[in-house]
A and B are shown apart, each in its own frame.
Chain A
């Protein structure tokens, strides 16, 4: 799922400074799971901002709402009245939700309260890790189910660099070396010979280098 992290409160306060009536809008899907922008976080952020507003002698008001998914028109249409009544919407969804609001409400100021961080999972409670870069050309079938694009700091496709030590990455010793993981798994699968094959340069045009990507499914269009 999409993982996100709340922005520093100082940055949020600076963004909302010009606006009096602010709607804090949470999202019930990915950011709820990653504890960044669900109903609970909307409540906590609203409380913090109300206290700050009072202490600083401002008369801002903060309304709260959370929709199931900010990335779908029908859900954001359901809160149209609350959005219209606000000077600005402070979205706690990922960047997709923020942009959906901006597109649906062309005259409304929409601000991001979180930094959309990566596609990943919680490997344990409270520990979120990146697993996919959405590069558009999946190679996991060649790399024993471990992605060197998302998990190697140098995007290496042909084995570990000289900085791999004791299974860890030189860039951050808390991170596993993706190529050590690939090596270990290929060994377990009896497929180490795969490492001898040179992987050719990647087609980055399927990644963001090809411009914004779009999938059109004619069979599903209404």
Chain B
């Protein structure tokens, strides 16, 4: 065991993992967290807490992570390279570990241009791969990024990274994944998958390189609420690949049933990706629609969650 988190135990025991996601509020309101946590509690192996997602200021990922621990859920905190330099990152991770946070997702972060403070300075002292190496170095070598020894208790995280199988250059993506594993990733969460055949091709290449034996890959999935949202994701979200049949399936049902169809579609995608060699679990991203998660996982045959 590297960190001994529930997620790590589920994966190392050979179960097909299911994780969720919780978007912190744009306020200091703890009620929002309690409510969203109650929707996810017991239904997922761990809950990702986004770190100023899409470069919009929200309650701190680590602070919400601590709240989740108090509420009896396992958090996966996110850390981006956009808002903090290597000092701030390491300092915050020491604090998170001291509070009992055990899963960490290392990200570059969405560019400031997409957020609500587009005139801020982006930090980018490290990139996500260097961040992985720093976190692994703190855990396995008991060393800070500068090589200095951590004299007493080192932070021990089950380390995650993201990969987008749909970004370009497509041929390079599996090699970039390999680089993330070499840097320190124990598990991977992918970008939202709607184009399953393309993801299958990516996974085939990943397996051909033997990477599925070195890392746990969680396929990213998420329900689409409306035809408008599907169209928006199709045309305006960088790095997203939403095939036309995803949109037309939602268009094919009466308006009051689109949400229901979105949930069913998400469960179907889970069933499809679960069949692919090398996929160790799913990560369900239903931001601002957390109540959909238990139903999606039920339909996908992933309830109840294993007790490990």
Contacts and interface: CB of A to CB of B under 8 A. Distances in A.
Interface of A: 153-167, 170-171, 177, 180, 183-184, 195-196, 198-202, 204
B127 A166 contact: no
Given A155-B124, A201-B86, A201-B125, 4 more contacts: A154-B109, A158-B127, A165-B239, A198-B183
16 contacts: A153-B111, A156-B108, A158-B183, A159-B129, A160-B169, A161-B108, A162-B163, A162-B167, A162-B191, A163-B167, A164-B167, A195-B175, A196-B179, A196-B182, A201-B86, A204-B125
Nearest to B171: A183
Contacts of B239: 162-165, 170
Nearest to A165: B168
Contacts, number: 95
A160 B179 CA distance: 12
Interface string B121-156: 010111111100110000000000100000000000
Interface residues of B, number: 34
Nearest to B191: A162
A160 B127 contact: no
B162 A198 contact: no
B14 interface: no
B176 interface: yes
A163 B172 contact: no
A183 B173 CA distance: 11
A160 to B, nearest CB: 7
B164 interface: yes
Given A170-B238, A195-B179, A198-B179, A158 B169 contact: no
A170 B239 CA distance: 8
A153 B169 CA distance: 17
Contact of B179 (A159, A166, A202): A159
Given A154-B111, A163-B167, A195-B179, A201 B130 contact: yes
A164 B122 CA distance: 18
A161 B82 CA distance: 13
Nearest to B86: A201
